[in-house]
């Protein structure tokens, strides 16, 4: 069992804040209760309340965001809570919670998508990625991790269904939570319209994207740029970019000036951002202005591992796809702040120099770093598939851990 889960289970009174859309936090609470923990939950909107199954062990926050500090402080004091758990530490309410926990000396744990995918999810204390306190200098002192995750049966359609139900519930019940501010900064209708556009764009561009992938993979002379969701907190909190467009512009300008002739550049759009943003015109216009038209490409429905293996190297702000690139032994350039942006894994040179002389990762160091991440932060499981406690062998591992610590 991951060390981070052991640390969480060392606390008996646990508060859950906002989780992933869907039933994950309900199932997680059930697991914690089965381990003898006292669990309470705070709902911020009707979607949160709908998906949480322990109705007698939850509170509803209906005040303004500016009032949440006082609300949370009183709740922690009244219920003598020792640990707070949330998904994504950069959501506005969770940023407030992190500061409250720091002030009160309460442990603060954060779930996030897995640093290593598939079949892993992330759980860290204090914060994730740019807020992580992991110390890579300790790698050689740690025990080996069990890097054989079981299949979690994660399914994208479950995310889609959960999202639609969640947003409908938020809309229908918004009168009960009149001051709720959504972390994405979008209205319900804007979010819903984006999800309507997404399958249309997928249908109309699927075949052209696949043809582009086949051509570039065959040529093997391109740099891959992995884009992130436009309002991803990793962009807003852990980079100096105000917008993904700024990142795209910087990369294209540098490519035009410094990349060897005969090479190409491919921007891979994030599938969850398909309905929200479309950079086709921007990239084409900038390509014409920079004189690299015909060398810069853009697509979404492509097989990322195939692109990575065929590419010269990859560039991203701080996406965890960078760790997949490192796994495939490809030079990888990080343009934001990330816990894995260290010598031996990613290229430390400026972007202008990366094009001509990209540095591949150190394979041995990567394998140690991977085990370090697994042991310290990763849980074999998924949010829309099997969770860690639902996988065979988990309780056996838990029982063994209990025996050895007695």
Sign of the CA dihedral with 239 first, then 243, 244, and 248 last:
negative
Instruction: With a cut of 80, say whether residue 184 has pLDDT above it.
Output: no
Task: Mention every residue, 6+ apart, whose C-beta is less than 8 A from residue 194.
Answer: 186, 275, 276
What digits encode the pLDDT tens for the residues 90-108?
999 999 999 999 999 999 9
Cis peptide, bond prior to residue 118, ω within 30 of zero = yes
Reported confidence tier of residue 394, pLDDT bands at 50, 70, 90: low
What digits encode the pLDDT tens for the residues 220-253?
999 999 999 988 888 988 999 999 999 999 999 9
For residues 252 and 296, is the Cβ–Cβ distance under 8 A? yes
Domains of the chain: 3-175+373-404 (3.40.50), 207-341 (3.40.50)
Task: Mention every residue, 6+ apart, whose C-beta is less than 8 A from residue 149.
Answer: 119, 120, 380
Which pLDDT score is estimated for 296?
Answer: 98
What digits encode the pLDDT tens for the residues 376-391?
899 999 999 999 888 8
Question: What SS3 class is residue 48?
Answer: helix
User: Whole-angstrom Cα distance, residue 288 to residue 294?
Assistant: 9
Sign of the CA dihedral with 57 first, then 62, 67, and 68 last:
positive
Which pLDDT score is estimated for 399?
Answer: 52
User: Whole-angstrom Cα distance, residue 352 to residue 302?
Assistant: 27
Which pLDDT score is estimated for 119?
Answer: 92
Residue 201 CB coordination number (10 Å): 16
User: Whole-angstrom Cα distance, residue 165 to residue 174?
Assistant: 14
Q: What's the average model confidence in pLDDT over 118-147?
A: 82
Between the alpha carbon of residue 393 and those of residues 148, 150, 377, the distances in Å are: 12, 9, 19
Calculate helix-pair angle for 244-258, 280-290, nearest 10 degrees.
Answer: 30
Average pLDDT of the chain is 91
For residues 129 and 233, is the Cβ–Cβ distance under 8 A? no
């Amino acid at each position: 069992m991951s060390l981070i889960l052991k640390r969480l289970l060392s606390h008996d009174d646990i508060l859950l804040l906002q989780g992933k859309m869907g039933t994950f936090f309900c199932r997680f609470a059930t697991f914690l209760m089965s381990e003898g923990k006292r669990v309470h939950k705070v709902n911020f909107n009707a979607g949160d309340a709908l998906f949480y199954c322990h109705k007698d062990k939850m509170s509803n926050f209906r005040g303004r965001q500016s009032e949440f500090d006082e609300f949370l402080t009183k709740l922690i004091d009244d219920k003598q809570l020792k640990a707070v758990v949330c998904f994504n530490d950069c959501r506005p309410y969770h940023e407030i919670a992190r500061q409250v926990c720091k002030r009160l000396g309460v442990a603060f744990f954060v779930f996030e998508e897995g640093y290593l995918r598939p079949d892993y999810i992330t759980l860290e204390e204090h914060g994730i990625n740019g807020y992580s306190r992991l110390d890579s200098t300790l790698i050689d002192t740690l025990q080996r991790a069990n890097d054989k995750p079981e299949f979690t049966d994660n399914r994208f359609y479950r995310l889609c269904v959960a999202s639609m139900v969640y947003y409908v519930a938020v809309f229908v019940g918004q009168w009960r939570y009149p001051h709720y501010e959504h972390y994405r900064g979008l209205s319900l209708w804007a979010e819903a319209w984006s999800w309507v556009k997404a399958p249309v764009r997928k249908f109309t561009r699927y075949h052209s994207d696949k043809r582009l992938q086949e051509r570039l993979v065959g040529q093997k002379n391109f740099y891959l740029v992995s884009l992130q969701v436009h309002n991803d907190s990793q962009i807003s909190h852990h980079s100096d970019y105000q917008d993904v467009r700024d990142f795209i512009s910087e990369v294209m300008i540098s490519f035009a000036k410094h990349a060897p002739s005969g090479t190409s550049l491919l921007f891979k759009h994030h599938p969850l951002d398909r309905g929200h943003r479309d950079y086709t015109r921007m990239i084409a216009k900038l390509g014409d202005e920079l004189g690299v038209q015909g060398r810069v490409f853009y697509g979404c429905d492509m097989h990322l591992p195939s692109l990575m293996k065929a590419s010269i190297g990859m560039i991203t702000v701080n996406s965890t796809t960078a760790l997949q690139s490192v796994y495939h032994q490809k030079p990888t350039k990080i343009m934001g702040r990330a816990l894995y942006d260290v010598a031996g894994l990613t290229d430390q040179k400026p972007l202008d120099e990366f094009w001509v002389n990209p540095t591949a990762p150190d394979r041995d160091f990567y394998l140690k770093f991977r085990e370090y991440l697994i042991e310290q932060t990763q849980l074999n499981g998924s949010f829309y598939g099997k969770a860690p406690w639902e996988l065979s062998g988990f309780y056996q591992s838990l029982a063994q851990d209990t025996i050895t610590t007695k």
